[in-house]
Amino acid sequence: FGQAMRYAGTVGSTQDEARAWADDPHDPAPHGAVVVAERQTAGRGRRGRAWDTTHGTLVFSVLLAGPLALPDLALMPLAAGVALQAACGVGGLKWPNDLLAPDGRKLAGILLEADLRGEEARRAVLGIGVNVSAAPEGAAWLSEFRPGLTRAALLARILAELERWLAAPPQAVLEVWRAVNVTLGREVRVVTPRGILTGTALDLDAQGSLLIRTPEGTTVTAHAGDVQLVG
């Protein structure tokens, strides 16, 4: 990844820049092309949230050329989380892929957007934002834990880890995710598109969905959603 790379000052969202580059008929972005920006005016996070790009954050998007089978896409957010944790060398993953500092503040986030076409994705754009030397209110930044790690060095590390983990066998991704997560065994409240699930986070299934034991003793599955750790 990163053989083709564009560096921009201010953009709306690097996700849109990566798509626009992929669609450029004269110079289409190849698989693994990267767009890095200094600032975003319309950075977005998961579930429609805004992603603040303050000074001192690393924000970039990677183009994943398709076609991508939907089952392969399911584990990608977790594989990207494993790669991010390995590259940063600190913190734990909150399902599916928020990187939290040891004290629970958020260090980095991942957004995977797939452009679907029938039963497959014709491409996907993986966006990552890491608070490196500064962070929005309440969030953590990497220099607190890894002083001296520059944004350029961090980007190179993340790209190398992404190449490795996006190609890794599902079993290996799940195994490492389990080893570096801060979700399993905790009381959680998961806001899903279909409603709120509460209970104990038990495990992942083979697709990377989160299995939750409810207070009534049944096990329910969250395929997508936002976890709040409540205990």
Contacting residues toward ligand BTN, per CB under 6 A: 13-15, 40, 43-46, 49, 51, 59-61, 98, 109-111, 127-129
Using CB positions, name the residue nearest to ligand BTN.
109
With respect to ligand BTN, which residue has the nearer C-beta, 44 or 123?
44
Spatial neighbors of 155 by CB under 8 A, at least 6 apart, are 2, 34, 36, 58, 60
What Å distances lie between residue 6 and 37, 54, 142, 150, 172, CA to CA? Answer: 8, 20, 24, 18, 32
* Cβ distance to ligand BTN smaller for residue 202 or 224: 224
Q: For the CB of residue 128, give the shortest distance to ligand BTN in the complex, in Å.
A: 6
Question: Cα–Cα distance between 156 and 181 in angstroms, integer?
Answer: 23
Q: Residue 109 or 199: which CB sits closer to ligand BTN? A: 109
Burial class (CB in 10 A: 0-12, 13-18, 19+), 198: middle
Minimum separation from the CB atom of position 62 to ligand BTN (A): 10
Nearer to ligand BTN, 14 or 181 (CB): 14
**CA 138 distance to own-chain centroid:** 19
Q: How far is the CB of 123 from ligand BTN (least distance, A)?
A: 15
Nearest-approach distance from CB 170 to ligand BTN, in angstroms: 23
Tokens 């976890």, located at residue: 227
Q: Measured from the CB atom, is 23 or 175 closer to ligand BTN? A: 23
Burial class (CB in 10 A: 0-12, 13-18, 19+), 224: middle
Nearest approach, Cβ of residue 174 and ligand BTN (Å): 21
Select 49 or 172, whichever has its Cβ closest to ligand BTN.
Answer: 49
The residues that bridge with 50 in the sheet, in sequence order, are 44
- Minimum CB–partner distance for residue 81 and ligand BTN (Å): 11
- 219-222 β-sheet, strand order: 219-222, 210-213, 195-204, 187-192, 226-229
At what angle are helices 170-179 and 70-88 packed, to 10 degrees?
A: 40
